[in-house]
Amino acid sequence: HVSSWFAPGPDVRTEATIIDEQGTAWRPDRVILDGSRVRVLDIKTGRPREEHHDQVAGYMSLLRRMGHTHVEGALLYVRTGELRPVKP
């Protein structure tokens, strides 16, 4: 449900930069730190594309390499309101 990605309470980072091992900067739209769980959401205005899934899967992989064990991801398409879970 979309509302769970915008609920008050957990630590939310909006467009926070994450630096990978090679020094490349990544900027997911929304990262939610909720206890041992980390969730990453990317918001898109256009039509769904496979590259969007790959982008969020990459953020999820990076967060796992940073030591987070329980990582979830999703895409939100604002034009349709569709929320698509991203599986690693």
Give me the pLDDT at residue 48, please.
Answer: 94
The two tokens of residue 8 are 């008050």
Q: What is the DSSP string of 5-38?
A: GS-SSSEEEES--EE-TTS-EE--SEEEEETTEE
Give me the pLDDT at residue 51, please.
Answer: 96
Q: Which amino acid is at 16?
A: A
Which residue in this structure is represented by tokens 């769970």?
4
Which pLDDT tens digits describe the chain residue by residue (88 residues)?
A: 888 888 877 799 999 899 999 999 999 999 999 888 999 999 999 999 999 999 999 999 999 999 999 999 999 999 999 999 998 7
pTM score: 0.90
Closest CA to 40 of 73, 5, 80: 73
